[in-house]
């Protein structure tokens, strides 16, 4: 495994753990503040967490994906798949 893969994978798991901790917000449970006059602040916070999780998943798919899985992919010039 390359050092880039190990570093990206470690960073991915750290960011994932941070998102898990931030997802369990208790500070907005009793806050009745409305964002933009209609959106409860707790719901807006959860929307931001969801966007951050989506961004992390997209980043992980391109940067923390193991190259070994790509090397065993089917060769498009081969008549039969290799296993």
Residue-wise pLDDT for 18-51, tens only, equals 999 999 888 888 888 999 999 999 899 999 999 9
Cβ 19 vs Cβ 49: under 8 Å: yes
Residue 37 φ/ψ region, left for φ over 0, alpha for ψ in the -120 to 50 degree band, beta for the rest? left
How many residues are there in the chain?
83
The residue that leads in pLDDT, 65 or 30, is: 30
pLDDT at 4 exceeding the cut of 90: no
- Which of 7-16, 46-55, 74-83 has the largest mean confidence? 46-55
Tell me, yes or no, if the pTM score tops 0.85.
no
């Amino acid at each position: 495994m390359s050092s880039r893969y190990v570093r990206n994978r470690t960073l991915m798991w750290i960011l994932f753990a941070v998102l898990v901790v931030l997802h369990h917000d208790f500070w907005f449970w009793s806050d009745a503040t409305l964002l933009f006059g209609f959106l409860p602040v707790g719901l807006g916070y959860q929307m931001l967490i969801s966007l951050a999780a989506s961004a992390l998943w997209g980043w992980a798919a391109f940067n923390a994906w193991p190259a070994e899985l790509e090397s065993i992919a089917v060769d498009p010039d081969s008549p039969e798949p290799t296993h």
